[in-house]
Amino acid sequence: MINNRLKKKSANHWLLGVALAGAASLTQAEVIIGNDLNSADSTIEAIAEAYSGNRGTNGGGDQSLQLGDVLQGTAEDDTIIGALGIDILSGRDGDDVLIGGTEDFNPFNRDRAFGDAGDDSFIWAPGDGNDFFNGGEGIDVLFMAQIAETSSGGVETGPVFTVDNSGDFDGIFLNEKNNPLVKVAGPGFCEIVEKDTSNSDALAELDLDHLVRFVLRGPRQAFNLALETDPDTDPDLLDSGLRIAIHMKSVEFLVCGSEIEGERLIFDLRQVPAQQVDISQLPSRALDILLDSDSFLSSSVLR
């Protein structure tokens, strides 16, 4: 099913807390959410029983041939959320925010996001799969960050940052602008594979500009310590902390965590090697997301 637009509250718990009532103002983005019916709370019992938690090699039993949503944006600014399943997101015109859906460690789900025209942002969260993002025209941004959710483990909590290994989608909290809140300084950091002399041919063969790898900080620290302690140790026998690689094309900026806990990095990917820059270089909607998130994090007692 294409363009499943949910603009009001649903019986599904994960939509509660998303402010969609009323006509969109000039400061609000249009919200488009996939209506995958394969969570444990689905009202369709046969689907829930067969596909609860979105298990299976292709992600679950719902709309498209790849068992996920195909969602297309409007000519305006959109916030597009795939929820469960292997989703295909297309922003079209406008400055769009694309979120495949917090998959909570289902390794088979690999969303595809296309920003198209406009300054678009794709948000990847720990627990998501090896996703693909083609920013298209404009100045586009990849965020690797935790996203504030509306619930955790089926319990409504309001905006909360969790990494829940449940396999279910807990809903994305959106503020009054219909922007998500993000926490970049999470449990991991990024490593950039770019078109330098050693990787240019391989990336060109894949028709990619970059791979960005997500590495868990704790396992990487243990990995480094083990090699320092015994240099003869075979690194292939150790856990390096590498978990996921995001495949990218036509993306200009990357926002991610650092190896130093609590530190946020912003990279300009238009140069090789990528150059670290400050927050002011980001396009306006991506900048709004970070500033609103920083304000929330500084004023809230996080769970």
Q: What does the alpha-carbon distance between residue 212 and residue 199 come to, in Å, rounded to a whole number? A: 13
**Does 78 score more than 50 pLDDT?**
yes
Q: Average pLDDT of the chain?
A: 81
Edge-to-edge order in the sheet of strand 70-72:
70-72, 88-90, 112-114, 132-134, 242-249, 210-216, 188-193
- pLDDT, one tens digit per residue, over 212-222 is 999 999 999 99
Q: What does the alpha-carbon distance between residue 39 and residue 170 come to, in Å, rounded to a whole number? A: 10
Least confident of 147-151, 179-183, 293-297: 147-151
Contact assessment for residue 243 and residue 280, using Cβ atoms and an 8 Å cutoff: no
Question: Average pLDDT, stretch 176-196?
Answer: 94
- pLDDT, one tens digit per residue, over 239-287 is 999 999 999 999 999 999 999 999 999 999 999 999 999 999 999 999 9
pLDDT, residue 106, reads 65
Residue of 71, 77, 90 lying closest to 33 (CA atoms): 71
Distant-in-sequence, close-in-space partners of 57: CB < 8 Å, separation ≥ 6: 108
Q: Which residue has the higher pLDDT, 113 or 27?
A: 113
Amino acid in position 96? D
Cis check: omega of the bond before 273, within 30 degrees of 0: yes
User: In the chain, count of helices (H) and strands (E)?
Assistant: 4, 19
Token pair 């998501």 is at which residue?
A: 128
C-alpha torsion 259→265→271→272, nearest 10: 0
Contact assessment for residue 54 and residue 85, using Cβ atoms and an 8 Å cutoff: yes
